[in-house]
Amino acid sequence: MSAASPSMSFFSRERSIAAPGFNRWLVPPAALAIHLCIGMAYGFSVFWLPLSRAVGGAEPKACPADMGFLASVFATSCDWKISMLGWTFTLFFVFLGSSAAVFGHWLETAGPRKAGLAAAVCWCGGLLISAAGVYLHQIWMLWLGSGVIGGIGLGLGYISPVSTLIKWFPDRRGMATGMAIMGFGGGAMIGAPLADKLMSYFATPDSVGVWQTFVAMAAIYFVFMVGGALGYRVPRDGWTPDGWTPPTAAVGKMVTSRHVHLDVAWKTPQFWLLWGVLCLNVSAGIGVLGMASPMLQEVFGGRLIGLDIGFSDLSIDQKKKIAAIAAGFTGLLSLCNIGGRFIWATGSDKLGRKTTYAIFFVLGFLLYSAAPWAAHDGSVILFVLFFCVILSMYGGGFATIPAYLADIFGTHHVGAIHGRLLTAWSTAGVLGPVLVNYIRDYQLDHGVAREAVYNQTMYILAGLLVVGLVCDLAVRPVAERFFMTDAEVAAEKKTSPAAIAKEEAEAHADFEDFVEEGAVAELAAAEARKVDAQKRNGLTRVILFATWAAVGIPLAWGVSITLQKTFVLFH
């Protein structure tokens, strides 16, 4: 390590190697601290309505009909359309997947601390640029700030804990990644109500309070994300949990103890089959998630409030009532999305990843196919239940895929491989909403009743899941020729910071043994180590409680707010 850069050395991978006795349960809350912040990307729609009337006030001020698109991008005298604002959401997930693919390999060498810090700078810096864009009424700054730069922060923050958690929890890979990625699904449950409260606080007759909210949230998120980045530790080479024995090839042939290099992994058929598995699972779920509220309202209409009339025949007040019920439906789906990330991923440790995904596709096919029947039968409860299970599997797919990759390709480059695989998410983020939205509009334009416009979409999504099932069933163990040789792995580890740190620690231990000669000195040292260990254990318990409380309390608050909205659905 160069002496010329002592300040940056703290963020290097070398400095994040855990000391002996480190409690691995301190790592998941560090990951959650970052994922709960960047997960606000799912809740950005809370800003669209206020921003669509930032100029006009109570009513949006439309741009002149003859104003071109480019002119409207720079216009300051008229309001933005929600369709223009929605491009920020698309940019989020395009740049999430792209940045994860581009920077995945850098993350493996730089370590999770640098990646987490870079994510904090991009995500929070993007919010500040967006705040300036709102203040100056320049939508291109919103797209650049949150969409592009923030999207890069999403990618870095999303993959930063994956490799680290898998290495800390080789015995519970699914559970570990499920805990972290659960935070991404839960970020909107915290961020959306927080943003709503902040906008109400900052709103004035001349301002809707959005740019001030962006600044406040950037400051709050930066503190949490930097804290999470500093909390990351990586295990030393050769570390395993006490009492755990790695599975042999004979016990679980779909779980390898060897490693495939990043540059080789994406050339294997297994990579592209898993790319298809993730893309198809996400396409089906994300299309429904984006249209959940209008779908429930249009399918059931007045039946949501005990009236046997369609959506188009409802009065304005009646539409407000069913909109509140639909908001509860959306909140319930968010809870299922989050819970599924942890429950399904944890279950995959017992079921196996391939079996877990097979369940997603088979059960999803049945539920999507049955949804039109539930709608036609007028069973709101069944319809809601079907989509709760569907969204739990949508979230579970995100949380299970990193462990699936580690099983197939090994752990040495899993973070970088996961980063490249997330281009499937970028693709699904466009494919899913386009399928649902455009098929709906096409059918409405051709006179199909509102309550039936989603039927064909459900059957198409069910068909996508059949293709996903074929991809999953086709996954086989990687061929021998794709694995790194022992010599190649050793060559990489010799130059890795972890190997250097291990050698230095061993040399230091040898030196201490040499100095502490004599029985009396050895006994005294052993007693001192015992006392120090007791003190460290006590301190660790305090730190463990504090770190889990720091992420658990905001998450519990978000869940409670969501549950309050959900109760309206069953009122």
DSSP secondary structure, 13-68, as one string: TGGGBPPTT--GGGHHHHHHHHHHHHGGGGGGGGGHHHHTTTTTTTS--PPPTT--
Task: Mention every residue, 6+ apart, whose C-beta is less than 8 A from residue 158.
Answer: 35, 38, 96, 100, 181, 184, 422
Q: Which residues contact 227 (CB under 8 A, 6 or more apart)?
A: 30, 33, 550
Residues 6+ apart with CB under 8 A from 261: 412, 413, 484, 488
Distance, first Cα to last Cα, the chain: 63
Strand partners, 66: none
Architecture in CATH of 252-487: Up-down Bundle (1.20)
| DSSP-assigned letter for residue 301 | G
**Residue closest to 364 by CA, chosen among 388, 380, 335:** 388
Say how far apart CA 123 and CA 114 lie, in whole Å: 14
Quote the distance between the C-alpha of residue 94 and its chain's center. 14
- What CA–CA distance (Å, rounded) separates 387 from 375? 12
Mind giving me the DSSP string for 471-507? HHHT--PPPGGGBPPHHHHHHHHHTSHHHHHHHHHHH
Q: What pTM was computed for the model?
A: 0.81
Which one, of 292, 211, 218, lies nearest residue 47 by Cα? 211
Q: How far is CA 448 from the centre of its chain?
A: 36
Half-sphere exposure of 447 (CA within 13 A, CB side): 0
Return the closest-CA partner of residue 218 out of 28, 33, 38: 38
Q: Are 557 and 190 in contact (CB under 8 A)?
A: yes
For the chain, the structural domain boundaries read 11-240, 252-487
Identify the residue whose tokens are 């993730």.
Answer: 278
What does residue 496 show for φ and ψ, rounded to 5 degrees?
-80, 145
pLDDT, position 4? 44
C-alpha to C-alpha distance for 357 and 273, rounded to whole angstroms: 12
H or E element in which residue 205 lies: none
Matching fold, domains 11-240 and 252-487: yes
Q: Which residues of the chain have pLDDT under 70?
A: 1-10, 58, 247-253, 290, 493-538, 571
Q: Tokens for 21, please give them.
A: 């006795």
Rg (CA), the chain: 26
> Are 338 and 189 within 8 A, CB to CB?
yes
Instruction: Say what the pLDDT of residue 48 is.
Output: 83
Q: Phi first, then psi: what are they for 62, rounded to 5°?
A: -70, 145
Q: Are 123 and 38 in contact (CB under 8 A)?
A: yes
Q: Please, are residues 284 and 436 in contact by the beta-carbon 8 Å criterion?
A: no
Homologous superfamily (CATH) of 11-240 is: MFS general substrate transporter like domains (1.20.1250.20)
Q: Token pair 């959506």 is at which residue?
A: 311
Output the pLDDT for position 504.
Answer: 46
The candidate with the shortest Cα–Cα distance to 406, out of 238, 277, 245, 270, is: 270
Continuous segment of H or E residues that includes residue 452: none
Q: Which of 5, 234, 226, 227 is nearest to 118 (CA)?
A: 226
Q: How far apart are CA 322 and CA 378, in angstroms?
A: 15
For 412, list phi and psi in degrees, rounded to 5.
-65, -40
Please tell me the distance from the alpha carbon of residue 481 to that of residue 485, in angstroms, as a whole number.
Answer: 9
In eight-state DSSP terms, residue 450 is G
**Region of residue 306 (left: phi > 0; alpha: psi -120 to 50; beta: else):** left
**Under 8 Å between Cβ of 60 and 52:** yes
Measured between alpha carbons, how far is 169 from 538 in angstroms, rounded to an integer? 23
